[in-house]
Amino acid sequence: MPIHLRAEPSDYAPAVLVPGDPRRAQYIAETFFDPGYRLVNEERGALGFTGTYRGTPISVQSVGMGCASAGIYYNELIQLGATRIIRVGTAGGLAKGLRMADTVVAISATADDPVVGQLVNGEAHTPTASYPLVERAVQLAREKGARVHVGPIVSSGLFYDPRQGIMQRWADRGHLAVEMEAAMLYTLGAIHAIETLCLCTISDLITDEQNAERISDADLKVGVDRMMEVACEVAVG
């Protein structure tokens, strides 16, 4: 039994959704899983649930914020037998043309957090999603009427970033959005040869380090709900 997930391998499905927020994990289980799902972890309030989605086993586990926290949970999920891990999160929009509640499918995640480099001994490595999951997610999101953007994102180590102009430089280098957990997931996926994907709903539109416009709660729910349906279908597909 791992230290932070007080569970046995049989408690988790091979496919796991990984939001940051424990309450979002609960919302996903309540809203999208078939009736009869169960709580499988509550250590430190990091809620995890296992059930089925349209009859196929699925789990959801909250992982906290940042690569350091999320990496603990990703590692322990892999120890418990997860073979497909899909991050469902929010992100700040960097690219022109993004709108609130748009869906971003992250092909790759630039690791702007030193803990990710420590995992690969400082050697160059591009954290990359599993292409079959990317392809399926794009197709499903389009079918559901989402505005979908496919490309690289940044996984930042600092939510409050003091570096002047960093957001603009990331945007100028083609990044669609910034969040804080995908690069760790994709790197662990490569190391352990499991499938990984990160889907994000745009919750802020970033102008610079000090200024971002925030989505309304109602619009966020619409975007997140649509992304969750896509994530559940990709997870069990």
- Binding residues for ligand HPA (CB under 6 A): 90-92, 156, 159, 178-180, 203-204, 206, 212
DSSP assignment of 127-169: -B--HHHHHHHHHHHHHTT--EEEEEEEEES-SS---TTHHHH
**142 vs 163, beta carbon nearer ligand HPA:** 163
**86 vs 206, beta carbon nearer ligand HPA:** 206
Characterize the bridge pairing of strands 48-53 and 38-41: antiparallel
CA distance 227 to 205: 18
In contact, 230 and 145? CB cutoff 8 Å? no
Concerning whether 102 is annotated as a catalytic residue, the answer is no
Quote the tokens at residue 205.
């539109």
Other Cβ atoms within 10 Å of 4 Cβ, number:
16
Rounded least distance, CB 193 to ligand HPA, Å: 28
Rounded least distance, CB 58 to ligand HPA, Å: 24
**12 vs 73, beta carbon nearer ligand HPA:** 73
User: Which residue is catalytic, options 102, 204, 208, 225?
Assistant: 204
Report the catalytic residues.
204
